[in-house]
Structure 1
Amino acid sequence: MARRSGGHLPQPPLMRFVGVDLAWADRKPSAIVVLEGGKDGPGAPIAFSSGLEHVEEMGDFILSHTPGGGLIGVDAPLVVPNESGARPCDLECTAKWRGYDAGALPANKKLCGDPPRGGRLLRWLGEAGFEHRYDLQAGVPLRAAMEVYPHPSSVALLGLTKIFKYKRSATAQNQEGLAAFQAKLYERLGRIDPPVELGGELAGRLRRNPTLLRGADFERQGDLVDALVCAVTVFHFWRWGAAMWEMAGSAAQGAILLPRAEAFKVPPPGGSG
């Protein structure tokens, strides 16, 4: 009879979880964070990049880090059928999360282009075998991509009463907001279920003091933080599925993966993050 080496059972396959903070406009820089994790235990970052400008280089970076199963969360509109106004998923997100300052921006062809930049990335990923879908069996490997939104995710995952304000220019208020957000990520990500253990070069980047950053450096720092939240979002979704996450809208008309506030026991909105 064949003996097992050391009596150890084979380890279950690990998945890769990719967060993409995708700028809506062409030539605007974007950021990507890749986590690795399995059905049990923590997730951990294995790669990241910021300042990516072209859909093709983003796709190449993603494919180079997803040789097997991969779940991709993109913070940008992927499907935009409407000429103007907002998509139903944008309106639903805003109705549920506006009290936390986490409502969605209206996405339409006038603002996003036709096709939108996210749609071009989605097509690129589809040719590489990634399905656009929001249904999964928790803990089962797959290759899929979906639209996510880091503001509601950060409220639910970190137990916030308001989002931290840090986008766009490096004003003193935005610098302080990003510094507080980074501190909260360090405080909380290792304590959520499943935990995410920040380490390596990404941890070093997230320890940078935003109050010392200006211009493009400040914007890239914020993009990287958003990409991390997107990656944590799809990792948590893969482990918990529909018990804690829901789809707003439809894959055909535009959809966003959102946390279920009641499942996360999110505190009432108000005050500061």
Structure 2
Amino acid sequence: MRFIGCALAWRPGEAREKVSCLVVLDERGSIIANSFAANAEDIAGTVAGYGSERRGTLVGVDAPLAVPNERGTRRIERILSKVALPAYSASRRMFGGEPYSEELLSELEKAGVEYTDYPFPRERGQSVVVEVDSAATLKVLSLERSGTADNGDLAKRLRAMDDPKFRKGNKENRAADLRGAIEVLWDTPGLRLRTGNLAADISAPENVDVSKLDVSASMSHAELDRTVGLVEGMLAAYTVHRHWRGRNGSIVVGAGDEGSVLLPARNALRERLAEECSTAGVPYV
């Protein structure tokens, strides 16, 4: 199996203008490749290449994939907001019609990768794509890293934690937040950042070793943007890999065309999300 995280440039002003990033994990959780792609067709072709002659491909796209609402927010976004997890605000109106993610799903389907709201854990042979939320994953991992994920007032601790802010702002703050995110990833059990076929060259078109980069304000905003893509891609790949392994906990909030998102969640957080889903009548598993 191959586990691919896609940091999709999907937002208005980004879609079809900026590159997206793909990060690939093997079954052991080792990063074996990453690359940048210019459009949906390129992404689908790269995904197909990474999954060639493998026993399945599980893709996590860090973007809203099913956007049924013309205005406002999706129900799953409201659930995440209630538990103080970062949530996308997506509507068809903000895209002026078809979201870029729908174009991506169409191209992935041509490559044999189908949209699902629930990838099956431990099952090889599936080639599916699911929505993930890298910012929420990073916040969950930071909580778990602190060792207090299942102690005390979970809601209070989540509200007290800052959401990631490395996408915008001055270079000093962006670089500091990126270093913090990379440190969290480095300490995440089941994820191996450093492998022999990656190099510390942020300008390279593929196979960049984020753990060896000197992430600082001396980088240009364009270089910081590429680093953000790599970090978000790693978080997306980790999310689907963790779910597939069936360890440490995960949850899918929402279902089908109404929108769903796969998140890492265990014990107290999973119970909290399940409670909000039940109250709002939103499916979860």
Residue pair 1:165, 1:174 contacting (<8 A) in 2 also: yes
Match of 1:152 in 2: 136
1:68-87 alpha-carbon deviations (Å, 9 max, x no partner): 30000001111111111001
Q: 1:32 aligns with which of 22, 40, 50?
A: 22
Q: For residues 55 and 137 of structure 1, what CA distance do their matches in structure 2 show? A: 25
In structure 2, relative to structure 1, the CA distance for the partners of 1:136 and 1:146 (3 Å cut) is closer
Match of 2:222 in 1: 216
Q: For residues 143 and 48 of structure 1, what CA distance do their matches in structure 2 show? A: 19
1:138-192 alpha-carbon deviations (Å, 9 max, x no partner): 2111111000001221222342544442112443112111112212222x13xx2
Give the SS at the match of 1:123. Answer: helix
1:56 maps to amino acid: E
Q: For residues 104 and 87 of structure 1, what CA distance do their matches in structure 2 show? A: 10
In structure 2, relative to structure 1, the CA distance for the partners of 1:81 and 1:137 (3 Å cut) is closer
Quick check: 1:116 aligned with 2:106?
A: no
The two structures have a TM-score, normalised by structure 2, of: 0.76
Q: For residues 184 and 86 of structure 2, what CA distance do their matches in structure 1 show? A: 21
Q: 1:226 aligns with which of 216, 229, 232?
A: 232
Match of 1:6 in 2: none
Which one has a bigger Cα radius of gyration?
Answer: 1
Q: Which range moves more in the overlay, 71-80 or 202-211?
A: 202-211
C-alpha displacement of 1:260: 2.3
The equivalences for 1:3-22 within 5 A come to: 15-22=1-8
Match of 2:255 in 1: 250
In structure 2, relative to structure 1, the CA distance for the partners of 1:122 and 1:261 (3 Å cut) is same
Quick check: 1:56 aligned with 2:52?
A: no
C-alpha displacement of 1:135: 2.5
C-alpha displacement of 1:112: 3.1
Q: 2:31 aligns with which of 8, 27, 45?
A: 45
In structure 2, relative to structure 1, the CA distance for the partners of 1:164 and 1:77 (3 Å cut) is closer
Residue pair 1:151, 1:163 contacting (<8 A) in 2 also: yes
Listed as ranges, the gaps of 5+ residues in structure 2 are 146-160, 199-206, 272-285
Residue pair 1:170, 1:214 contacting (<8 A) in 2 also: no
Residue pair 2:254, 2:261 contacting (<8 A) in 1 also: yes
Match of 2:67 in 1: 80
Match of 2:115 in 1: 132
Q: For residues 25 and 120 of structure 2, what CA distance do their matches in structure 1 show? A: 19
Q: For residues 104 and 239 of structure 1, what CA distance do their matches in structure 2 show? A: 25
C-alpha displacement of 1:258: 1.9
Match of 2:156 in 1: none
In structure 2, relative to structure 1, the CA distance for the partners of 1:137 and 1:60 (3 Å cut) is closer
Q: For residues 268 and 119 of structure 2, what CA distance do their matches in structure 1 show? A: 18
Percentage identity across paired residues of the two chains: 27
Residue pair 2:67, 2:258 contacting (<8 A) in 1 also: yes
Quick check: 1:183 aligned with 2:183?
A: yes
C-alpha displacement of 1:203: 6.4
Match of 1:3 in 2: none
The two structures have a TM-score, normalised by structure 1, of: 0.79
1:200-219 alpha-carbon deviations (Å, 9 max, x no partner): 31563332122121121111
Q: For residues 175 and 191 of structure 2, what CA distance do their matches in structure 1 show? A: 27
2:258 maps to amino acid: Q
Q: For residues 125 and 157 of structure 1, what CA distance do their matches in structure 2 show? A: 29
In structure 2, relative to structure 1, the CA distance for the partners of 1:106 and 1:227 (3 Å cut) is same
Q: CA RMSD in A?
A: 2.3
C-alpha displacement of 1:105: 2.5
Q: For residues 129 and 32 of structure 1, what CA distance do their matches in structure 2 show? A: 17
Q: 1:199 aligns with which of 188, 195, 204?
A: 195
Match of 2:245 in 1: 239
Give the SS at the match of 1:139. Answer: coil
Give the SS at the match of 1:210. Answer: coil
